[in-house]
Amino acid sequence: MSAKIPVGVLGATGAVGQKFVKLLENHPWFELTEVAASGRSVGKPYKEATMWRQYSPIPAAVSEILVKPCEPGLACSVVFSGLDSSVAGEIEEDFARAGCMVLSNSKNHRMDDDAPLLVPEINPDHLGIIETQRKRRGWKGAIVTNPNCSTIGLVMALAPIHQAFGVTRVIVTTMQALSGAGYPGPPAIDMLGNVIPFIGGDEEEKVETEPLKIMGKLGDGRFEPANIKISAHTNRVFVEDGHMECVSLELEKKASPEEVARVLSSFSSLPQELKLPSAPHRPVIVAAERDRPQPRFDCDAGNGMSAVVGRIRSCPVFDIRFVVLSHNTVRGAAGASILNAELMKAQGYLG
């Protein structure tokens, strides 16, 4: 058995950072050796720097590691970034320039025309843009991004349907969990018995544009976005984990709800074929019960890596409507980055 690849986590003390620490424990290919965060945390043992909010204890191998500054020079050439977007852009560039592979959760580089916005089940070929990125920027490393936590559930459901029937227009209304706002998130007094119909940081724009890049084509060193119009309403609800989305869509080639359900439940792709360690057996699970998915019961499906779709039915305005749920800090963040790194290792990008 070959040695594990040493990896680091930037922003390791935050909500996404903690999920990285948890998911990397006992990973068969990667070993977490470095944790980094802001000046508030630097120099402290990890267990003192972070307000641990996971349901299992801090992995013993990490709890005493001293938090380092987010500066190149860490003893690893692969870093996962859960950095706040106010600082992620430049820090991630510094690491890529210094020769590191950066797997980013932040919005800063997602829409760059030379950076992959990768979902291994949908657009594994988009890794090909790394060559252009390196040439253009003169980097030995690279930045590879994963989508916004609401984009991911939507695109996991849309991509197989688009492939089979062609999607032309989409209206999506999200109900997003509190953990999507980082720790400690919105004050309890604002959330209790309430719904906030606004999520900052251009959330609606991300949900409207990221799927087009992901489902688009990469040819000749350029992305051509998918020709789909998306209208998004994003809401914060009083739920701990799991973003739920109500979706109505128009199809090029008409299809029944049963046909759509068959396409979704039979969807399988490269990560499943390669048996990547974090790849769920079924990327999309179609719930049989008429009142599912529900965040409390379904957000951990496929170890938090599957999207769960339910209530697939005809739409009197468009063609098809359904509900989709995905785990925002696993498939929508840390788990997505780790799956991206696994695909990159399998394809020889990690040396």
Annotated active-site positions, please?
149, 243
Quick note: the x/- pattern for ligand NAP over 147-186, rule CB under 6 A, is --x-----------------------------xx-xx---
- Residue span binding ligand NAP (CB under 6 A) among the ranges 82-90, 191-199, 264-272, 286-294: 82-90
Q: How far is the CB of 289 from ligand NAP (least distance, A)?
A: 26
- Residue span binding ligand NAP (CB under 6 A) among the ranges 81-89, 135-143, 167-175, 270-278: 81-89
**Residue 295 interacts with ligand NAP (CB under 6 A)?**
no
Tokens of residue 257, six digits: 């709800």
- Long-range pairs, 56-59, Cβ under 8 A, ≥24: 56/22, 58/21, 59/21, 59/22, 59/25, 59/32
**Residue 326 interacts with ligand NAP (CB under 6 A)?**
no
Name the H helices within 276-315. 295-298
Q: How far is the CB of 193 from ligand NAP (least distance, A)?
A: 23
Residue among 110, 139, 150, 342 nearest 246 (CA): 150
**Residue 40 interacts with ligand NAP (CB under 6 A)?**
yes
Measured CA distances, 305 to 23, 115, 241 (Å): 11, 23, 13
Measured CA distances, 77 to 6, 49, 74, 145 (Å): 7, 23, 8, 16
**Residue 106 interacts with ligand NAP (CB under 6 A)?**
yes
By CB under 6 A, name the one of 5, 15, 79, 260 that touches ligand NAP: 15
Q: How far is the CB of 288 from ligand NAP (least distance, A)?
A: 28
By CB under 6 A, name the one of 5, 62, 65, 70 that touches ligand NAP: 70
Pairwise CA distance, residues 155 & 211, whole Å: 6
